């Protein structure tokens, strides 16, 4: 939102400059000069505005950059101080151990789920059972009877 507002302000201050004729005839040189390089006794208002905006943009953005950099440095230093001020708390060790055990158990259940998937497929699908029996029969390990019913139960 702040970035959008900054763009809007910059564009609003630049639009008058874009609408102005920037080339002015220079009678002594028989040529035209850009208004920025023209020597005025008194520059037009739009040119004065351009000079002011140009200088303000530089200094405001420079100050904003310095402010943000200093703020980041302060926050990072504060975080480092907070880490140094942490003290040992016995209850934290117990909580950490419980969390680690629960995590290990959840990993075990995840592997168990993956291991049991083929078993579940075997018992739930007649097509899978028939394919498995046909594979065993083709290997010659044993002769299993393939069901004639191909619909899933």
32 strand-pairing partners = 25
Residue 152 has pLDDT above 50, yes or no: no
Percentage of the residues of the chain whose pLDDT score is greater than 70: 82
130: part of which helix (H) or strand (E)?
A: helix 126-139
Q: How far apart are CA 44 and CA 56, in angstroms?
A: 19
36 in a structural domain: yes
47 in a structural domain: yes
What are 130-144's pLDDT values in tens digits? 888 888 899 887 888
Domain final residue pick, 71, 87, 103: 87
What are 30-78's pLDDT values in tens digits? 787 676 655 667 777 777 877 788 888 888 878 888 998 999 998 888 8
Q: How far apart are CA 43 and CA 115, in angstroms?
A: 83
6 in a structural domain: yes
Structural domain range at position 119: 114-153
Total count of domains within the chain = 2
106 in a structural domain: no
* Averaged pLDDT, 75-92: 71
143 in a structural domain: yes
> Do 73 and 9 fall into the same domain?
yes
133 in a structural domain: yes
* Averaged pLDDT, 85-103: 73
98 in a structural domain: no
> Do 75 and 2 fall into the same domain?
yes
């Amino acid at each position: 939102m702040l970035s959008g507002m900054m763009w809007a302000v910059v564009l609003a201050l630049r639009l008058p400059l874009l609408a102005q004729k920037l080339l002015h005839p220079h009678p002594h040189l028989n040529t035209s000069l850009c208004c920025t390089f023209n020597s005025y006794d008194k520059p037009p208002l739009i040119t004065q505005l351009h000079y002011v905006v140009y200088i303000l943009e530089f200094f405001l953005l420079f100050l904003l950059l310095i402010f943000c950099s200093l703020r980041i440095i302060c926050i990072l230093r504060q975080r480092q101080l907070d880490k140094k001020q942490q003290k040992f708390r016995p209850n934290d060790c117990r909580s950490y151990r419980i969390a680690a055990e629960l995590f290990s158990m959840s990993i075990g259940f995840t592997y168990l789920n993956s291991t049991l998937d083929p078993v579940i497929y075997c018992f739930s699908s007649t097509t899978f059972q028939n394919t498995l029996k046909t594979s065993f029969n083709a290997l010659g390990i044993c002769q299993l009877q393939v069901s004639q019913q191909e619909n899933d139960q």
